[in-house]
Structure 1
Amino acid sequence: MKRSKSLMFTLAMVPALSLALVACGGNDADGNNDAGGNDNAANNAAENTDDAEGNNAEGNGGNEAADGEAPEKPESLSMWVNDEESQLDAYEEIAERFTEEEGIEVEIIPYSMLDQTEGMSLDGSAGQGADLFFQPHDRLGDIHLQGLAAELELTDDQLERLEGYNEEAVTSFSYEGIQYGIPAVVETYALFYNTDLVPEAPETMDDLMDTARDLTDGDTYGFLMEATNFYFTYPFLTAEGGYVFAQDEDGVYDPEDIGLNTEGAVAGAETIQTWFEEDLIPTGIDGDIMNGLFTEGNAGMVVTGPWSIPEYESALGDSLAVAPLPEQDGERLSSFSGNKGWLVNYYTENEYWATELALFLTNEENSTTYFETAGELPAHTAVEIDDEFMAPIFEQTEYAEPMPNIPEMTQVWDPIGEAMEFISQGDDPQEVLDEAVEQIREQIAISGN
């Protein structure tokens, strides 16, 4: 298979290409890290490499439309859908539309998202895996190592349709410059606030800290967050130049270039440390403490995600509001995001039409249906979110950066989490982060990644 290097560069170039677009019927123009491999990884990857040319020569897994002609339509396609009732309901409705438009039946098979990679590793090569399966982007390293997903050979028409998707979400489903998936869902966090205490959301971090200092008194806090949890502290460690792993122009990560003890990361850690030194955030803060104080009306602002909306709305009613994270130095803070999307089974005989189905499932119209039914924010940026709480989170997704999808990321969480605990207790940020990065390097070396 031809490898699709630098997809986002290709997307940028599509409008300038004077090539006739391939006509693909039925698609309008709107249209926590478990990355360790298993014992089958090396064997599957080797088999995939050996089989690639053979599959394409027989017209099975290859995307013939990349050469200018869409392959014959199959009678049916199958997809593993996460076994949540609302998600199944949404995709049943959307799949019926695909059948109406393309004449291809779609079999929906309920299958826990977290079990699908194991199922595909066992059943894929035997021809029993679904044409499409659904995964979080941070499992892509494992999927790549096991050889479970097809390398997408996208036509110009398909690339043009992808321009309507969140760029970072698209890139999150590439690995070593190879595009493996079509993003469906984006998730991140934002600033939740109690309008009884904070009438308007702060625009900048300076505004936020001024409000925090004004409101913090005794058991009442102006601003709270899980300030030792790396998932939530990422915006502050990176705002002045810190980073996890360096990336090249194609978005490929360099696990040897770790930026969590750079001058920028240390400056962010020092800022977080001042919150504890000034007693703006209590030592030992965790999600339960934060949620309790906020729902009891004893915290003005918190950083959390959409999963907290039901509890918060029940407790605060009309006093609950949500906003994107504030700006720092004129730039919106970049939160971590977790994305989910559709991947094409490496062993499918219908790669082109499976890709078409993935694009159909996630286009503007169907992403709207999915959000309205399942409540998860779409990766397609043209969708209008008419929800007072979800709309600001959707806006924040435009500034979110996906968690790195390489296996080495599994070695980052614990050392940095422990480092933030020490920093909250007054230890020197530079020394602590130096030690954490050294530990990350050692663990990566031991793991063999």
Structure 2
Amino acid sequence: MSLNRRSFLSLTAIAATLTAAAACSGGSDSSSTSAGADSTGAAASDGALVRDPDADLVIWADEKKANSLRAAATAWGQAQGITVAVQTVANELQSTFITANQAGNGPDVVMGAHDWIGNLVQNSSISPVTLSEAAKANIAQVGLNAVAYDGQTYAVPYAVETLALFVNKGLTSVTAPATIEELVAAGQAAGTDAVLSLPVGEAGDAYHMQPLYTSGGGYLFGKNADGSLNPQDLGVGAEGSLAAAAKIGELGAAGVLRTSITGDNAISLFTEGKAPYLVSGPWALADVVKAGIDYEITRIPGFEGMSEAHPFAGVNAFYVASKGKNAAFAQTFVTDVLKDTTITRAMFDLNQLPPVQKDLAEELRVSNPDMVTFATLASDNADPMPSIPEMSEIWSPLGKAEANIVGGSDPVSTMTSAGEQIKAAIAG
């Protein structure tokens, strides 16, 4: 989603919010220019994706994930005595997969974001998977929660992302503010151009605003007795969201939140020393490290006297296609992903993403402490992004409402109107 998230999860749902602000998700994926590629990653000349007819197991993924998986998957196949093809799908991976699967010429396995699950189940595109008790015990709970839907496990998780607070230790000594109010005071004392670099944008950014929304008391969907999300219990427009809107409005009036800060400039404001604090994710690490900043990564604080801040967790996962030609191989492969760290470590070395495997996190604790920090924050503070199809109706109205409130619109009427718009869209 915008330059800052392109390297990680392309989550369709967020696209609705951030398309206007530069975004991604619920069906579109990745960064290459062709719709298809052969098993070596070369783009198909006619732009059409064709399942490799010579492979026993075919896996589809976006460019970065395909490149990180190919060698490990090939080695796994050789050990099994089968051939494996990892094909790159450059654009619209989710929708391309659904269409190909329905036609019977799709892959056996597809890699994607966990918030695809609702749509994939609705389209009968994936099969449940079975994780051993040992595998479950070794996966962070946020990863298990993310791939559960309607009481079943529908994917094998392997990496997670969330938002955190980056602190420039050269600009402030308050490296772990306990509250937003403490952060604001420290940021103002720093005397920089901005207090907090958090993407808002004119069109809104509900993904990055989620920690503040939840701390103020807002929620998106209520839960049924079994813990599943209830799309009829909409939190946008409810009392908690109005309280959150009021606090967001206060930050806007104080200039702490600004619509001029977007996904395109938020990281650079921080790396150029124009803000002591940044709300971003692991995709910001490379730029922060390159800038030579003495930094700290910590949890995002909540408002004083209110709830804790809970950003979204996005989980990358392997799905088994419902109409794949080799379902047995597919099931074996995805469960072997978590049997040990052989495959996931090989993938991490080529495309660094915070792991959900506890033993892999332990392996990386010394060599990649920042990635382990993000994995821990995701496990301790984040909520899996809702994977029900109705979530797609929330991003744009909620993000726009928050941006308007930051810009000075009345918090109560603006948030109430957003809730009414979302309810109508869900009902329709």
TM-score range, shorter chain: 0.7 to 0.9
SS of 2:277's equivalent in the other structure is: strand
TM-score (norm 1): 0.74
Provide the residue aligned with 1:162 in structure 2: 136
For the structure 1 residues 262 and 347, does the alpha-carbon distance in structure 2 shift closer, same or farther, using more than 3 Å as the test? same
Provide the residue aligned with 1:222 in structure 2: 195
TM-score (norm 2): 0.77
Cα separation, 2, equivalents of 1:163 and 1:195: 37
Residues 254-292 of structure 1: per-residue CA shift (max 9 Å, x gap)? 111111223322222222222222223345332334334
Cα separation, 1, equivalents of 2:234 and 2:287: 37
For the structure 1 residues 129 and 236, does the alpha-carbon distance in structure 2 shift closer, same or farther, using more than 3 Å as the test? same
User: For structure 2, which runs of at least 5 residues remain unmatched after alignment?
Assistant: 1-23, 29-53
1:34 is the counterpart of 2:26: yes
Contact 2:166 2:280 in 1 (8 A): yes
**Offset, 1:106:** 4.4
For the structure 1 residues 241 and 99, does the alpha-carbon distance in structure 2 shift closer, same or farther, using more than 3 Å as the test? farther
Cα separation, 1, equivalents of 2:171 and 2:120: 47
Alignment of 1:35-434 (within 5 A): 77-84=56-63, 87-97=66-76, 99-100=78-79, 103-112=80-89, 114-124=91-101, 127-152=104-129, 154=130, 158-205=132-179, 206-215=181-190, 217=191, 220-227=193-200, 228-315=204-291, 317-326=292-301, 333-348=309-324, 350-365=326-341, 366-384=343-361, 385=364, 386-398=367-379, 399-434=381-416
Cα separation, 1, equivalents of 2:164 and 2:120: 30
Letter in 2 for 1:210: A
Cα separation, 2, equivalents of 1:330 and 1:394: 25
Contact 1:181 1:341 in 2 (8 A): yes
Contact 1:114 1:135 in 2 (8 A): no
Provide the residue aligned with 1:438 in structure 2: 420
Cα separation, 2, equivalents of 1:396 and 1:345: 31
Contact 1:192 1:301 in 2 (8 A): yes
Cα separation, 2, equivalents of 1:148 and 1:332: 37
Cα separation, 2, equivalents of 1:410 and 1:265: 18
Once the two structures are aligned, what percentage of the paired residues are identical?
23
**Offset, 1:346:** 0.8
Letter in 2 for 1:78: L
For the aligned residue pairs, the C-alpha RMSD in angstroms reads 2.8
Contact 1:221 1:298 in 2 (8 A): yes
**Offset, 1:195:** 1.5
Cα separation, 2, equivalents of 1:246 and 1:426: 29
SS of 1:260's equivalent in the other structure is: coil
Cα separation, 2, equivalents of 1:415 and 1:123: 32
Letter in 2 for 1:403: M
Cα separation, 1, equivalents of 2:325 and 2:310: 40
Cα separation, 1, equivalents of 2:27 and 2:101: 19
Letter in 2 for 1:88: N
Cα separation, 1, equivalents of 2:236 and 2:339: 37
Provide the residue aligned with 2:12 in structure 1: none
User: For structure 1, which runs of at least 5 residues remain unmatched after alignment?
Assistant: 1-31, 37-74
SS of 1:255's equivalent in the other structure is: strand
SS of 2:127's equivalent in the other structure is: coil
Per mean C-alpha deviation after superposition, the further-off stretch among 199-208 and 134-143 is 199-208
Residues 144-202 of structure 1: per-residue CA shift (max 9 Å, x gap)? 122111133x2xx7244223213232232233333221112211121112111024522
Cα separation, 2, equivalents of 1:221 and 1:240: 22
Letter in 2 for 1:201: T
SS of 1:420's equivalent in the other structure is: helix
Contact 2:215 2:306 in 1 (8 A): no
Cα separation, 2, equivalents of 1:113 and 1:364: 29
SS of 1:383's equivalent in the other structure is: helix
Residues 205-240 of structure 1: per-residue CA shift (max 9 Å, x gap)? 14323312322x4x5223221244210111111124
How many equivalent pairs are there?
Answer: 369
